[in-house]
Amino acid sequence: MSRDKILQNIKMNNQGFNKTAYPVYHPIHRVQPSEYVETYGQFVKANRAKFIIVDHPDDIPGKVQDCFPNAKNVYSSLNGNLVPIDHDKIQEIDLAIIQGSYGVANNGATWVRDKDLFDRSIPFLCQYLTIVISADHLYADLYEAYQKIDPDDQSYGVFISGPSKTGDIEQALVIGAHGPLELLVVVVK
Amino acid sequence: MSNDHATLGAAYLADEPRVDWHNKAVFNFRHLRDKVIHANMPEWEEMRSQASAIKQHTLEHLDDYLLQFEAKAKENGVTVHWASTAEEHNQIVYSLIQKAKATRVVKSKSMLTEECQLNPYLEARGVEIIDTDLGERIVQMLDQPPSHIVAPAIHLKKEEISDLFNKELGTEKNNADPTYLTRAARKHLREKFVSAQVGITGGNFLVADSGAVVVVTNEGNADLGCHIPPIQIHCVGIEKMIPRWQDLGLFVRMLAPSAMGLLITVYTSHYMKPKAGGEMHIVLVDNGRSDQLGSVHHRNSLKCIRCSACFNTCPVFRRTGGFSYHTVIGGPIGSILMPNKDINEYKDLPFASSLCGSCSDVCPVKIDIHNQLYKWRQEINAKTTASTSKKIMMSFASKALASNQGMSRINRLIRPMLKSLPRFMIYNRLNAWGKGREMPPVPIETFDQWYKNNRS
C-alpha cells in the first residue's frame, strides 16, 4: 500500500538526522489597539477596496447603497441571519453583503467563515461584495488573528483582502478577475 | 544533448529585445518583493530563520505529521488518498472523476498536477479539464506548459494573448487591452465554473493539527472551483506540511511578498470539511520526495514553498526564459530538485547558474540553493558523463592549476599563444567561456615577473 510505503520510506530516510524541537518564536506586534481601525482602513484601501466606517448597524444599508448605486439584485445576510437562496440564483447577485469575523490591521485582510454564509460560493460569484466587520474584531496581525480563529469551529474560512485581481497579462494589474469586481469593507464602531 | 539548458537558452537569447523585456518583467517581481518587505517587515530575517526551523522540524517528523493530518482530516469527514508516484496520483484523480460520472473538471493553479502531467492523462481518457487561473488558461490554450511557477504566461506579450483570444474566444481583433482580455476570460470561465462537476486545486500548505488545506489565489478561481461543483479534490505534495494552525501566521505572511511583492493575496482559503452535501478529497503525493529526504546535501530543498522568489532574482532564469529548463519546475529551485528525479535527464540544470547566491538570499525558508547547485555539479561529474569538451578542459585545467610549477609553465606556454594564434584556435568548441565573451587582454607581464622586478 502506498500509504505505508511512503511513511516507511520517510522513516528510513530520516534515520541518522537530528530531531530538532519545534522552535519557539515571539512575533512582534507592531500595531497598537488604538490604531487598529485606522491602519486596517489604510491597508484595505491600499488593496484596492473601498472602506467606510459607520457608527451604527442601522446605517449600513444606506451607506452601502451609496457605494453601489447601480446594484439591483442585492443579497444581504448579516449577523448570522443566513438568508436562503437558490443555488442557481447566486450568480445573478449584483451585490452581496456578508459578515466578516476577524480583521487584520497590518494587511487589511478579513476572515469570512462558512458559518456566516448560506452558500460558500456567495462571496465569489457576486459581482460586488461588501464585508461588514465590528471594530471590536480587529487584530494586530495574522499571528493574532490565527490565534483567535479556531479551525475546529469552522468547516471553511477565507481571508479576503480586496476585489479579485490578476496580473497574468504582462503584469498589468486588472481588478476583477473571477471573483467580485469590487469590494467594500464596512467597519461598525 | 541537443535540448539542454545551454542550447535552449542560447536560442532564447537570439531574440535580444524579447530577452530584455522578459528580464525586466521578471525582475519587477523581485523589485516589488523588496519594496513590500522593507516597508512592512523589519523582522524579515528572523521570520526566515523561524520558517526554516519549522520546516526543518517538520521534515524530521514528517511521517508523524502526515499521520496526524490524516487522522484529523478523516475526523473532519474528508477522504485522504496516498500516491507514491505521479501515475498513481493520476489514477486516483481519474477514478474519483469516473465514480462521479463527471465529464468536465475545473482546476486552479497547481504545479503538482503539472509535475504529474494530470491534464494529458485525463484528456486521453475523455475528460475535459479546464485550467482556470488566467495565466494557466492562456498557456493551456496554446498547448504550452507554464513558463514560471507563479506567473505561467509571463513569457507572452499581450498582443500574442490578444491574437489567441481572438481565435479562441472571439474577442476583437488587435484589442490587447489587459482589462478587456481579462473580462473576456472571466465570462468564458464562469460558464465553465457553473457547469463543472469536479473542482481540483493544489495546496500551498497542509496543516497537521487541523487537517486544513490552504490555497492562495488572487483571482478567486480556486474557491469558485471548490464551492460550485459537488466534488472538490486537493492534490498536494507531502512536503507542504506545517505542524500547527498558528504557523500560518508566519508562512502566509511570507508567501505573497516573496512570490509577487504583495502584502497578502486577495484570497487565502482554508478548507477543513466538505461543504453541505459535497465531497472533499485530499491526495497526498510523494513522487520522489521521500527519497530526497535521504540525501544529506539536498533534503533542505524540500522546505520549498514554491514562492518563485529564486526565479525572479536569478540572472540566468531572467535571460534564458522558463522553457530553457525543459521541466515544469525550473529556475534555481527546480535545478536542485529535478536531478534527484532523473540525474541524466537534468544533469545540465545545476550548471544553469552563475552561483551568485542571490537565490539563497531571497529564499523565505533559507534553502542554500547555490550551495546545492555546486554540490550537484560534483555529484553529476562523478556519476554521469559531462560534455566531452568540458571534461577535456577541466582535466587539463586541474593538472595545470594544481601546482606552482604547472601554473607558471602553462603561463609561459599560453601567453604568447593567446597573442599570436588565429581566432579560430582560441574561440572554438573547447572554449565555452569564450562564447559571447572576449578573453581579457594578455597583460605585459605575469604577477610573478612584476613581483621580481618591483619588490624583490
The ipTM estimated for the assembled molecules is 0.98
pLDDT of residue B438: 84
Cell numbers placing B91: 489514477
**Confidence (pTM):** 0.93
Residue B293 · residue B62 · CB < 8 Å: yes
B114–A contact, CB cutoff 8 A: no
Residue A176 · residue A163 · CB < 8 Å: yes
Mutate to test the interface with A, among B227, B246, B251, B262 (most CBs of A within 10 A): B227
Residues of A in contact with B260 (CB under 8 A): 167
Sheet strands side by side (includes B128-131):
B79-83, B279-285, B231-237, B198-201, B104-107, B128-131
Query: What is the distance in angstroms between the Cα of A177 and the nearest Cα belonging to chain B?
Result: 5
SS3 B224: helix
**pLDDT less than 50: residues of chain A:** none
Q: Return the sign of the alpha-carbon dihedral for residues A63, A67, A72, A77.
A: negative
A106–B contact, CB cutoff 8 A: yes
Using left for φ > 0, alpha for ψ between -120 and 50, and beta otherwise, residue A45 falls in alpha
Whether B430 has a pLDDT exceeding 80, the answer reads no
Whether B321 has a pLDDT exceeding 80, the answer reads yes
In whole angstroms, what separates CA B70 from the centre of its chain?
A: 27
Cβ <8 Å between B224 and A121: yes
Question: In chain A, which residue's Cα lies nearest the Cα of B288?
Answer: A6
Over residues B101-141, the pLDDT tens digits come to 999 999 999 999 999 999 999 999 999 999 999 999 999 99
d(CA B239, CA B337): 13
Whether B1 has a pLDDT exceeding 60, the answer reads no
Over residues B271-309, the pLDDT tens digits come to 999 999 999 999 999 999 999 999 999 999 999 999 999
pLDDT of residue B377: 94
Q: How many CB atoms neighbour CB B77 within 10 A?
A: 14
Q: What is the rounded average pLDDT for all residues in chain B?
A: 94
Q: How many CB atoms neighbour CB B444 within 10 A?
A: 8
Cell numbers placing B372: 546545492
User: Mean of the pLDDT values across residues B197-222?
Assistant: 98
Closest CA to B157 of B261, B23, B21, B28: B21
A127–B contact, CB cutoff 8 A: no
For the ranges A175-184, B55-64, B361-370, B444-453, the lowest mean pLDDT is seen at B444-453
Q: Return the sign of the alpha-carbon dihedral for residues B289, B294, B298, B299.
A: positive
Residues of A in contact with B40 (CB under 8 A): 106
User: Mean of the pLDDT values across residues B149-173?
Assistant: 97
A24–B contact, CB cutoff 8 A: no
In whole angstroms, what separates CA B411 from the centre of its chain?
A: 43
B261–A contact, CB cutoff 8 A: no
Q: Which of A1, A157, A180 lies at the smallest CB-CB distance from B270?
A: A157
Residues of B in contact with A167 (CB under 8 A): 151, 218, 260
Which uninterrupted H or E stretch holds B397?
A: helix B388-401
Give the pLDDT band of residue B441 (cuts 50, 70, 90). Answer: confident
Q: Which residue has the higher pLDDT, B317 or B432?
A: B317
Give the pLDDT band of residue B387 (cuts 50, 70, 90). Answer: low
Q: How many contacts (CB atoms, under 8 Å) link A and B? A: 233
Q: Scan for cell 498589468, then name that residue.
A: A172
Mutate to test the interface with B, among A1, A4, A5, A6 (most CBs of B within 10 A): A6
Beta strands in B62-177 (DSSP E): 79-83, 104-107, 128-131
Question: In chain B, which residue's Cα lies nearest the Cα of A5?
Answer: B84
pLDDT of residue A104: 98
d(CA A16, CA A35): 50
Cell numbers placing B2: 541537443
Using left for φ > 0, alpha for ψ between -120 and 50, and beta otherwise, residue B186 falls in alpha
Cβ <8 Å between B82 and A6: yes
Cell numbers placing B389: 569538451
**Could you tell me what percent of chain B has a pLDDT over 90?**
83
Helices (H), B100-174: 111-115, 118-123, 134-141, 158-168
pLDDT of residue B428: 80
pLDDT of residue B443: 82
Closest CA to A110 of A94, A134, A91: A134
User: Mean of the pLDDT values across residues B417-433?
Assistant: 79
Q: How many CB atoms neighbour CB B420 within 10 A?
A: 8
Q: Please identify among residues 223-252 of chain B the ones whose CB lies closer than 8 Å to any CB of chain A.
A: 223-224, 226-228, 238, 243-246, 248-250, 252
Cβ <8 Å between B182 and A21: no
Query: What is the distance in angstroms between the Cα of A119 and the nearest Cα belonging to chain B?
Result: 8
B195–A contact, CB cutoff 8 A: no
Q: Which of B67, B151, B219 lies at the smallest CB-CB distance from A177?
A: B219
d(CA A89, CA A68): 20
Cβ <8 Å between B268 and A18: no
